[in-house]
């Protein structure tokens, strides 16, 4: 049975079934990893939230309606973490560029270094001999999901115990996670490595693993590295400066328009489609851009299902495009005789990079690329300049401004 059917209906069903647990039960049990098929204390809504098949305001409103702002506080904060990560990367896009360039270098090093290649293969195949780590590697590959606590333990062991390049681990996650997100994944690995909150790496501790897996795993203390410092020496210059949020082009009414659907945002019903002269629609598959290596079939299938479901709910007949050569977007738009392409905002990551590469050929043909930015993001991203605390302080105001309390 597919645990994550790729549709809004499935996302709403999953949300409704978890609403009773969004209060005290979530706050008390969210850190416990019960193992594959038993992740009942966490929502498992992330594949749907990642693509906005279900939106953040919807799940926050459901939690508050059922439990009140105080009892739902921890669940609501966790929803905001994903938004914070996206905003943080929007304000520091150099971090994403550095990741992609560094990954290319790490992959090249692995290709030429047989020992490194074998070590990485043992880790990704779940053959290290460390029971907890190997089980998490297998669960990730088989299900496309890992409990958040296990993601942190896994990353810490990868970096500090196994001594493997952190970007190769982040790439392994990104190729297999159904909820894989450029911001959350990249910053999460950087945080464990001590590069996000500089000088504060996350150590995987034997007693912590035993406690929060309820004894399913009990590594000996000597199995895990003693983590005294992170990887700050790899970035001695510190964090890059905070940049302004990039501007977007507002869609124009009365001009021939192509609607572009990506898995960055699959809730088109929230946008003003009726005022546009939409004469062409396309879905754009981009999951293969997550990595130079092969992306898991399950990720590709989920994206395809989400895109098809979005087009069906919008009631449009959409051409299925694959993000190959960026010039193809301009050729297709020109043949459809459109003056603008309209799409929900693509945050920093592979889809944004591909659209940016397509921009010159679009401009040369006089075709504008317009993006919708959601109020939820517009309220939160300006606050994502440092740590999460600045966002957390403003959550009550944001919820009030958005009419969610």
The H-or-E segment that residue 170 falls in is helix 166-176
Read off the DSSP letter of residue 202.
Answer: P
Domains of the chain: 8-90+379-401 (1.25.40), 97-234 (1.10.579.10), 256-372 (3.40.50.620)
pTM: 0.96
Instruction: Please say whether the beta carbons of 189 and 98 come within 8 A.
Output: no
Residue 30 exposed, middle or buried by CB count within 10 Å (0-12, 13-18, 19+): middle
Q: What single-letter DSSP state applies at residue 322?
A: E
> Per-residue confidence of the chain (405 residues) as pLDDT tens digits?
468 999 999 999 999 999 999 999 999 999 999 999 999 899 999 999 999 999 999 999 999 999 999 999 999 999 999 999 999 999 999 999 999 999 999 999 999 999 999 999 999 999 999 999 999 999 999 999 999 999 999 999 999 999 999 999 999 999 999 999 999 999 999 999 999 988 899 999 999 999 999 999 999 979 999 998 999 888 777 789 999 999 999 999 999 999 999 999 999 999 989 889 999 999 999 999 999 999 999 999 999 999 999 999 999 899 999 999 999 999 999 999 999 999 999 999 999 999 999 999 999 999 999 999 999 999 999 999 999 999 999 999 999 999 999
Name, in order, each residue with C-beta under 8 angstroms of 32's C-beta and a sequence gap of 6 or more.
Answer: 41, 149, 212, 213, 214
Instruction: Give the position of tokens 């416990």.
Output: 32
Query: What tokens does 87 get?
Result: 């905003």
């Amino acid at each position: 049975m597919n645990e994550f059917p790729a549709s809004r209906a499935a996302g709403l069903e999953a949300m409704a079934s978890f609403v009773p647990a969004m209060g005290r039960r979530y706050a008390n049990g969210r850190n416990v990893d019960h193992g594959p098929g038993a992740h009942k204390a966490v929502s498992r809504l992330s594949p749907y939230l990642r693509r906005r098949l279900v939106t953040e305001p919807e799940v926050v409103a459901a939690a508050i309606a059922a439990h009140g702002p105080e009892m739902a506080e921890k669940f609501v904060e966790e929803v905001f973490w994903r938004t914070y990560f996206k905003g943080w990367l929007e304000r520091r896009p150099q971090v994403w560029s550095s990741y992609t360039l560094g990954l290319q270098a790490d992959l090249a090093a692995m290709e030429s270094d047989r020992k490194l290649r074998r070590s990485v293969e043992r880790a990704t195949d779940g053959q290290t001999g460390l029971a907890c780590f190997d089980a998490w590697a297998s669960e990730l590959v088989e299900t496309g999901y890992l409990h958040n606590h296990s993601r942190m333990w896994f990353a810490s062991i990868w970096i500090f115990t196994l001594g493997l390049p952190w970007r190769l681990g982040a790439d392994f996650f990104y190729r297999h996670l159904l909820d894989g997100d450029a911001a959350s994944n990249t910053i999460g690995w950087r945080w464990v490595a001590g590069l996000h909150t500089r000088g504060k790496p996350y150590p995987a501790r034997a007693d912590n693993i035993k406690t929060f897996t309820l004894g399913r795993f009990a590594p000996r203390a000597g199995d895990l590295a003693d983590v005294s410092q992170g990887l700050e020496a790899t970035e001695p210059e510190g964090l890059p400066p905070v940049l302004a949020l990039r501007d977007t082009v507002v869609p124009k009414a009365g001009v021939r328009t192509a609607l572009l659907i990506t898995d960055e945002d699959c809730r088109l019903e929230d946008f003003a489609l009726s005022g546009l002269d939409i004469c062409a629609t396309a879905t754009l598959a981009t999951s293969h851009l997550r990595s130079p290596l092969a992306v898991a079939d399950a990720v590709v299938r989920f994206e395809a299902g989400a895109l098809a479901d979005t087009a069906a709910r919008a009631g449009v007949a959409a051409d299925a495009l694959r993000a190959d050569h960026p010039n193809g977007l301009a050729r297709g738009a020109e043949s459809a005789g459109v003056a603008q392409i309209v799409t929900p905002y693509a945050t920093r990551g592979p889809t944004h990079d591909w659209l940016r590469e397509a921009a010159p050929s679009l401009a040369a043909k006089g075709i504008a690329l317009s993006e919708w930015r959601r109020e939820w993001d517009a309220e939160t991203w300006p606050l994502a300049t440092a740590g999460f605390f600045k966002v957390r302080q403003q959550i009550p105001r944001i919820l009030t401004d958005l009419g969610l309390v």
